[in-house]
A and B are shown apart, each in its own frame.
Chain A
């Protein structure tokens, strides 16, 4: 393999500098933008749903979640929001926390909070949707 003349004489530091965000930055950026766009209709639906469910008791809410369209949209809203926020909050952490150990701990903690909230939320929605009786 022959290297081009400019590659041959570059120092390791010079080469590392050219890599930028380890070539992962664009994936993060696109995930944030696409999930942000998905959240425009989903969160408007979420506000509409919240207004419909104001003051409703648990029975009415389970009946509402028992309708497949509501269970699916509610799960999508929660998952899209958590993916979006996990990425967004990671950037905030990386902007302000510079010590490697604290930064890593917070980035990992952020991921765990989001995955846990998603698992609890989606499991609860499914449990209600699949066990509710009398909803068609």
Chain B
């Protein structure tokens, strides 16, 4: 990538992803970006769900059978995690906007808390969903 023969215009590049040691704040940042893409699909699924309700009983039953299939459930499980992780992340970012929480130890801790919250809330949600007859 770095072609030094081009002369002085070539500027030093910032370190690439693969030379960084993985740490929790970086993992959170990447996970957040991944969740955003996932939630984009989720918003379209939600709009489609509303359209299916409006289209009538058969269309809705068909839509539910897609969402209720193993792949559909896996997608919804991911969406649940993404929703909860983004809720925690939005709160974390609000503290950052106020200039708080940037000390490495605190940033690591809040990152770990965001992931832990998302995991626990996802499990709780799906246990309730199971009790309500999702399986």
- Contact indicator per residue, chain B 90-114, by CB within 8 Å of chain A (1) or not (0): 1101100100000000000000000
- Contact indicator per residue, chain A 6-47, by CB within 8 Å of chain B (1) or not (0): 000000000000000000000000000100110110011011
B residues in contact with A113, CB < 8 Å: 44
**A120 CB–B CB distance under 8 Å:** yes
**A74 CB–B CB distance under 8 Å:** yes
**A81 CB–B CB distance under 8 Å:** yes
Question: Would you call A124 and B93 a contact (CB within 8 A)?
Answer: no
**B43 CB–A CB distance under 8 Å:** yes
Shortest Cβ distance from B6 into chain A, in angstroms? 18
Question: Would you call B53 and A65 a contact (CB within 8 A)?
Answer: yes
**A88 CB–B CB distance under 8 Å:** yes
A residues in contact with B133, CB < 8 Å: 54-55
B-contacting residues, A39-74, CB 8 Å: 39-40, 43-44, 46-47, 50-52, 54-55, 57-59, 61-62, 65, 74
Interface size on B, residues (CB 8 A): 35
B-contacting residues, A92-126, CB 8 Å: 92, 113-114, 117-118, 120-125
Question: Would you call A58 and B83 a contact (CB within 8 A)?
Answer: no
How many A-B contacts are there with CB distance less than 8 Å?
A: 99
**B56 CB–A CB distance under 8 Å:** yes
Question: Would you call A54 and B46 a contact (CB within 8 A)?
Answer: no
Shortest Cβ distance from A80 into chain B, in angstroms? 10
Q: Which residue of A lies closest to B63 (CB)?
A: A58
Question: Would you call A58 and B94 a contact (CB within 8 A)?
Answer: no
Interface residues on A, range: 35 or more
**B116 CB–A CB distance under 8 Å:** no
Question: Would you call B83 and A124 a contact (CB within 8 A)?
Answer: no
Q: Which residue of A lies closest to B32 (CB)?
A: A88
Question: Would you call A92 and B37 a contact (CB within 8 A)?
Answer: yes
- Contact indicator per residue, chain B 115-135, by CB within 8 Å of chain A (1) or not (0): 000000000010011001110
Known: A47-B84, A74-B50, A117-B47; 5 extra A-B contacts, CB below 8 A, are A55-B132, A55-B134, A65-B53, A117-B44, A123-B54
**Interface of B with A (CB < 8 Å)?**
33, 36-37, 39-40, 43-44, 46-48, 50-51, 53-57, 60-61, 80, 83-84, 86-87, 90-91, 93-94, 97, 125, 128-129, 132-134
5 tightest Cβ-Cβ pairs between the two chains A and B: A121-B47, A124-B54, A58-B60, A124-B50, A117-B47
